[in-house]
Amino acid sequence: MSRLYLVGTPIGNLGDLSPRAVEVLGSVDFIAAEDTRVTLKLLNHFGIKKPLVSYYAHNLRERGQEIVARILAGERCAIVTDAGMPCISDPGEDLVRLCAEAGVPVETVPGPSAAVTALAASGLPTSRFAFEGFLSVKRSSRIEHLAQIKDDPHTLIFYEAPHKLLATLNDLLEALGDRRISLARELTKLHEEVRRTTLSEAVTWYTGHPPRGEFVLVIEGAPAQPDEPSTLEEAVALVQALAAGGMSLSDAAKEAARQTGHKKGELYKRALEAPAPDGKR
Ligand code: SAM
C-alpha cells in the first residue's frame, strides 16, 4: 500500500543502517533525499538502486506537494536526510504534516539521532531533557532563546557546527552561568570523543584547541531554586492561622514546625505570648 516511510540513516558509522532500513529503501518506488549525492553514496554502499528526488529546506514547499501527489497516486516513498532521523533539525516535518493532512499513512523506520545518542553518553540526568536544536546565527535571537531557557531545570541539548562552537560556548556561559557540559564529537566515527567538563573549562580548552568535526552539546539544567526559609515571625503567624482555623495550638505548632523547619516548642511558646491576630487569646 502506498505510504511515506521516515527512514533514519547513520550519523557516521554505516553499520548503523538497520536491516529494515535497507529492505525499505530497496523496496520503495522513490526516495526523497536532503542531498542526493550523499544518499547516492549510502545506497551504492548497500547495492540499492532507486530514483532519487531532492527534498531540502529551499524546495520543500513545491516538492512536498509533488511527493504527496505521487503517494496518493499509488507510489511508496522513503524520506532520508544526510544523517540521522529526518524531521530532527532536518527536512521532513513539513512532509509528515502534508501527509497527515492528506490522509497518507506515515510509517517510521527509526535510526540513530545525534541528540539522543549524545544525551545517553553525557553522564548528565537523562529522565527529562529539552532539545534546543541549533542556536540562531542572529545575535538577538540567540540572546532571546538563551534568556527563555536559563531557568529550565531540564538537561539541555544543542547542535553546533565546529566553526561556531567557541562563540556559542561563550554565549552559553554568559547566559546560563558555569554549568556541567558534555561535548559529544564525531559520534560513531573514528574520532568519536565525549568531553565531560564545565562551560568555563570548555571555553578555555577550545580557545587553545580549535574544534573539528560535528558536535552535540549536552548541558545540565538550571539548579533547583530552594524555597526561601520562613522567618520565625512568619512561622508564628502560620501557627496562629492554623489555630484560628480550628486546630489546637499544640497541633498547629507541630504542623507549622513541619512546614517551616522551626522548633515546635519555640513556635508554641511564641504563639502563646503573641497577641492573636484578631486581638483574642
Ligand atoms: N537529523 C539529525 C539527527 O537526527 O541527529 C541531525 C541533523 S543536524 C542538520 C546536524 C547536526 O547534528 C550536526 O551539526 C551536529 O550538531 C549533529 N551531529 C550529526 N552527526 C553527528 C555526529 N556523528 N557526532 C556529533 N554530532 C553529530
State in Å: Cα 258 to ligand 1 middle: 49
Grid cell listed for 52:
532519487
**Rounded mean pLDDT of 136-144?**
94
Decide if pLDDT at 63 tops 70: yes
The residues, any chain, with a CB within 8 Å of residue 184's CB and separated by 6 or more, are 114, 117, 118, 121, 122, 193, 194, 215, 216, 217, 218
Q: For cell 486546630, name the residue.
A: 247
State in Å: Cα 153 to ligand 1 middle: 24
Give dist(CA 168, CA 135) in Å, integer: 8
DSSP state for residue 78 in the 8-state scheme: E
pLDDT in tens, 242-270: 998 888 999 999 988 888 889 999 999 99
**pLDDT classification of 149: cutoffs 50, 70, 90:** very high
Say how many Å lie between the first and final Cα of the chain, rounded: 81
pLDDT in tens, 86-119: 999 999 999 999 999 999 999 999 999 999 999 9
Q: What is the pTM of this model?
A: 0.83
**pLDDT classification of 274: cutoffs 50, 70, 90:** confident
Give dist(CA 159, CA 89) in Å, integer: 9
State in Å: Cα 1 to ligand 1 middle: 32
Give dist(CA 2, CA 269) in Å, integer: 79
Which amino acids bring their CB within 6 angstroms of ligand 1? Answer: 11-12, 81, 83-85, 88-90, 113-115, 159-161, 184-189, 214-216
**Rounded mean pLDDT of 76-94?**
98
**pLDDT classification of 1: cutoffs 50, 70, 90:** confident
Neighbours of 266 (CB within 10 A): 14
Neighbours of 42 (CB within 10 A): 21
**Rounded mean pLDDT of 16-21?**
98
State in Å: Cα 52 to ligand 1 middle: 22
pLDDT reported for residue 228: 72
Mutation probe of ligand 1 site: the residue of 13, 14, 89, 163 with most atoms within 8 A of C-beta: 89
